[in-house]
Structure 1
Amino acid sequence: MVAAADAQNYAQKLGISHGMSVQELGWDEDTDDALRDEVEEVTGSDLLDEETDEVVDVALLWWRDGDGDLVDALMDAIGPLADDGVVWVLTPKTGQSGHVDPSEIAESAPTAGLTSTTPVSLGSWTGTKLMQPKTPSKQR
């Protein structure tokens, strides 16, 4: 029962709410189905895949050590992102297979034009929120 209670916090921790469009990148058999299911339940729609041409509010990027160049993946993730959209890089926790050193995310984010925030715990995964910097020209 504890796992179900924890799962109910995933979308909240990710700042995801009803009506948001969420794109999922890097899905594989090791991704957390409870997290995916809750995001779909909260938003009221299916996760969008890599092929979507919709503007998205949130991109969930499942990322593991050995998946390739994180900067390239982040550039792909921000393509369909709304101006105020965010990218969540989801990595296996320390000690798990595929763990990514947090410094890799911290170094890759600015290269892709993103700023990172403090990671959050999501079961056996860690989520790091990356945001596009606010530009003065967009403020009115």
Structure 2
Amino acid sequence: MSATADPADKSNPAHRLGFEEGQIVQELGYDDDTDQDLREGIEEITGTDLVDEDYDDVADAVLLWHREEDGDLTDALVDAQEYLADGGLVWLLTPKTGRDGHVEAHEIADAAKTAGLSQTSSVAVAKDWAGTRLATPKAAKSGKR
């Protein structure tokens, strides 16, 4: 693997998330179980390091790792939106079915709706993690899908 990865490299697991070069991605809910290949893949595509909850500016997207035991998902989604630029997206990453911490699809749908987000797609993004793309009302209205 070269020092500068090709953003069009389909083997990069982050390619399915639609990130682009130069985007700022804020990561929330990081823990020992997060997928390092996915994290590194996002950094390769964007050309920037992931920023954490201490970042004091707006981000183009939020990567929210959430497990059943992490507390109220609606609250986490509302909090995640505080960091987003207008039209930004939240990628909710939850353990796949059968994995510790799995969050049921209906719980994700209910929490997203309550938080004012639109669920636009779901993808398998890593061995143990599924991703749900959640659009803010401004992103949904502008046609970003």
TM range (shorter): 0.7 to 0.9
Name segments (4+ residues, structure 1) moved above 4 Å: none
The answer for the alignment partner of 2:53 in structure 1 is 50
The answer for the alignment partner of 2:90 in structure 1 is 87
After superposition, the CA RMSD in angstroms is 2.1
- Compute the displacement of 1:134 (Å): 3.5
The answer for the alignment partner of 1:104 in structure 2 is 107
Amino acid at match of 1:57: D
- Secondary structure of the structure 2 residue equivalent to 1:12: helix
The answer for the alignment partner of 1:127 in structure 2 is 131
Equivalents in 2 of 1:82, 1:102: separation in Å? Answer: 26
Alignment TM-score, normalising by the size of structure 2: 0.85
Instruction: Go from structure 1 to structure 2 and tell me whether the alpha carbon gap of 1:38 and 1:97 turns closer, same or farther (over 3 Å shift).
Output: same
Equivalents in 2 of 1:31, 1:130: separation in Å? Answer: 19
- Secondary structure of the structure 2 residue equivalent to 1:66: helix
- Secondary structure of the structure 1 residue equivalent to 2:18: coil
Gaps of 5+ in 2: 1-8
Alignment TM-score, normalising by the size of structure 1: 0.88
- Secondary structure of the structure 1 residue equivalent to 2:68: coil
Gaps of 5+ in 1: none
Equivalents in 1 of 2:73, 2:10: separation in Å? Answer: 28
The answer for the alignment partner of 2:66 in structure 1 is 63
Task: Select 1:73's aligned residue among 73, 76, 85.
Answer: 76
Equivalents in 1 of 2:50, 2:89: separation in Å? Answer: 15
Aligned residues: 133
Give the share of equivalent positions with the same residue, in percent.
53
